[in-house]
Structure 1
Amino acid sequence: MRKALIILGIAFLVYFVLTEPEGLADLLGEIGNGIADFFDAVMTFFTELF
């Protein structure tokens, strides 16, 4: 069952890349911005703490 879900996930990703490359780029950019914001907040917390 797990292997089937992985294959379906990969197939969906390939389909998404072929049909909506701009949408995928936007999604990945938003994920990257979210991660950067998280680490920025953590650094600000530790800077203010010490």
Structure 2
Amino acid sequence: MKKALIILGIAFLVYFVLTEPEGLADLLGSFGDAFADFFEAVITFFTELF
């Protein structure tokens, strides 16, 4: 079951890249922005803590 879900996820990703590359770029950019915001908040927290 786990293997089937992984294969299905990869197939969806390949389909998404081939049909809508701009959408995937926007999605990955959003994830990158979210991670950057999270780490910036963590850095700010520790800076203010010390």
For normalisation by structure 2, the TM-score amounts to 0.97
Q: Report the secondary structure of 1:13's partner residue.
A: helix
Q: CA-atom RMSD, angstroms?
A: 0.4
1:38 aligns with 2:38: yes
Aligned residue pairs, count: 50
Residue number in structure 1 paired with 2:18: 18
Q: Tell me the TM-score normalised to structure 1 length.
A: 0.97
Gaps of 5+ in 2: none
Q: Percent identity?
A: 84
Alignment of 1:7 with 2:7, yes or no, is yes
Which of structure 1's runs of 4+ aligned residues deviate more than 2 A?
A: none
Unaligned 5+ residue runs, structure 1?
none
